[in-house]
């Protein structure tokens, strides 16, 4: 009798569980309550999980809720860049950036300032005259100081850290990229930017951010820059490895070596712009001069199940390495929230349908989401 009662209870329990649990991944994906654990829960208290957003992303209530549920940290995809904040000399426009800063504050999220100096999305007048000739060094430094002072003071107390310089290491140059800033200021343009940033706000974290630093062609040059920044005695809290990776490249061993090498120089590491391109593509990274053959757009109607699984496997392998290096890595930020708003729908070919993130176009978690959660759970939070 007792045996019968126990087994009846078991059957009842199993039946109830079967009713309560989604019977298929599709059913699970239709649920509107956040799947537990969320990314930030699985990451634990010492590893920030971030995403890049645009101010307009926050207008969509479903996307806004997803961002607040899953992530602990925000980066503006465009709104903090010099061109967005000071397109015309002396005329600062903070409205869109403030919208993102306010959202972060309202939801108890950290905020990353991206960026103070970049060769792209910066107004030409910062470092060039009307004839596109480099400004004298003193004038270029004065323009940079005015920008950095105003912007950093505006966000003082709201930003955890700034990408002070973005993508200064050359792809084709022997060392640094020959940007307008380099031409006007000289070889120490990166050091000067860090000095100005630290003077503007001595309490905020300062980062150097770049892509493809794990690739052999750029790794030694990147290590040289970090060593030079350390030797110059500037504040440098972390190196941001962007993480614009492909479904089959780079090898995770290369990523791990890069993390180890930077950590060995005594800086923290952040993965700052993570996405995994599933479309045919020649090279990883974010070289804005890269072009691709148009027309290859195989997943317009959705990602086939086998590629969905391949993407999940790739994310799982990446996160296994990242989670293993908890401690050295203090933040992982995805470059976007969902596939629909990813920059990879426009780069390096305009108008393709890419699927590089953890949430699909309906803001539903993909298999890759589960793979990331599993990898994070498998390593104990510190």
- Residue ranges in contact with ligand G3I by CB under 6 A: 77-78, 120-121, 166, 242, 273, 286, 288, 343
The DSSP code sequence of 121-143 is SS-GGGTB-TTSPBPPHHHHHHH
Crossing angle of helices 189-200 and 216-232, in 10° steps, is: 50
Is residue 318 within 8 Å of 303, Cβ to Cβ? Answer: no
Handedness of CA 336, 83, 288, 229 (dihedral sign): negative
Instruction: Let me know: does 243 contact 275? Beta carbons within 8 Å.
Output: yes
Closest Cα partner for 284 from 241, 316, 323? 241
CB of 171 or CB of 370, closer to ligand G3I: 171
Q: Residue 84 or 330: which CB sits closer to ligand G3I? A: 84
Among residues 74 and 312, whose Cβ is nearest to ligand G3I? 74
Least Å from the CB of residue 271 to ligand G3I: 13
Looking at beta carbons only, is 42 or 274 nearer to ligand G3I? Answer: 274
Catalytic residue among 273, 317, 328, 374: 273
3-state secondary structure of 91: strand
The residue among 77 and 113 lying less far from ligand G3I, judged by its C-beta, is 77
Cβ–Cβ < 8 Å for 179, 223: no
Q: Which of 87, 69, 83 is nearest to 120 (CA)?
A: 83
Smallest gap, in angstroms, from Cβ of residue 226 to ligand G3I?
18
Q: Which of 29, 79, 167, 214 does the annotation list as catalytic? A: 167
Measure the CA–CA gap between 334 and 167, rounded to whole angstroms.
18
- Crossing angle of helices 305-324 and 367-378, in 10° steps, is 20
The yes-or-no answer on residue 317 being catalytic is: no
* CB 53 to ligand G3I: min, Å: 10
Q: Is 272 helix (H, G, I), strand (E, B) or coil?
A: strand
Among candidate residues 102, 190, 196, the one with its CA nearest the CA of residue 148:
196
Which residues are CB-neighbours of 275 under 8 A, at least 6 positions away?
243, 244, 245, 334, 335, 336, 342, 344, 356, 357
Instruction: Choose between 120 and 150: whose C-beta lies nearer to ligand G3I.
Output: 120
273 an active-site residue? yes
Cβ proximity to ligand G3I: between 139 and 283 the closer is 283
Q: How far is the CB of 58 from ligand G3I (least distance, A)?
A: 15
Report the SS3 class of residue 181. helix
Let me know: does 198 contact 206? Beta carbons within 8 Å.
yes
Helix axes 252-264, 216-232, angle to 10 degrees: 10
Residue nearest ligand G3I (C-beta atom) = 286
Name the residues annotated as catalytic: 167, 273
């Amino acid at each position: 009798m007792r045996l019968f009662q126990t087994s009846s209870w078991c059957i009842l329990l199993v039946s109830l569980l079967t009713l309560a649990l989604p019977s298929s991944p599709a059913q699970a994906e239709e649920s509107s309550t956040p799947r537990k654990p969320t990314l930030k829960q699985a990451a634990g208290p010492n590893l920030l999980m971030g995403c890049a957003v645009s101010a307009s992303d926050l207008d969509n209530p479903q996307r806004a809720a997803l961002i607040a549920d899953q992530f602990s940290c925000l980066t503006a995809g465009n709104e903090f860049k010099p061109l967005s904040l000071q397109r015309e000399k002396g005329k600062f426009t903070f409205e869109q950036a403030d919208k993102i800063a306010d959202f972060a504050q309202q939801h108890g999220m950290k905020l990353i300032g991206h960026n103070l100096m970049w060769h792209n999305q910066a107004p030409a007048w910062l470092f060039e005259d009307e004839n596109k000739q480099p400004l004298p060094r003193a004038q270029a430094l004065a323009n940079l100081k005015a920008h950095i002072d105003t912007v950093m003071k505006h966000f003082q107390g709201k930003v955890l850290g700034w990408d002070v310089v973005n993508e200064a290491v050359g792809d084709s140059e022997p060392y640094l990229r020959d940007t307008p800033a380099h031409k006007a200021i000289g070889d120490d343009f990166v050091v000067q930017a860090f000095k100005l940033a630290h003077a503007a706000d001595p309490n905020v974290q300062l980062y150097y951010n770049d892509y493809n630093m794990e690739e052999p062609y750029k790794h030694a040059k990147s290590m040289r820059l970090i060593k030079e920044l350390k030797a110059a005695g500037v504040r440098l809290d972390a190196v941001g490895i962007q993480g614009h990776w492909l479904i089959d490249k780079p090898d995770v061993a290369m990523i791990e070596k890069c993390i180890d090498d930077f950590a060995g120089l005594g800086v923290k590491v952040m993965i700052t712009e993570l996405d995994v391109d599933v479309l045919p593509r020649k090279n990883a990274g974010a070289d804005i001069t890269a072009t691709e053959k148009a027309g290859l757009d195989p997943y317009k109607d959705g990602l086939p199940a086998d590629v969905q699984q391949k993407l999940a496997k790739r994310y799982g392998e990446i996160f296994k390495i990242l989670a293993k290096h908890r401690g050295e890595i203090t933040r992982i930020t995805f470059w976007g929230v969902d596939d629909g708003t990813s920059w990879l729908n426009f780069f390096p070919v305009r108008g393709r349908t890419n699927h590089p993130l953890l949430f699909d176009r309906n803001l539903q978690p993909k298999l890759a989401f589960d793979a990331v959660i599993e990898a994070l759970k498998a390593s104990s939070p510190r």
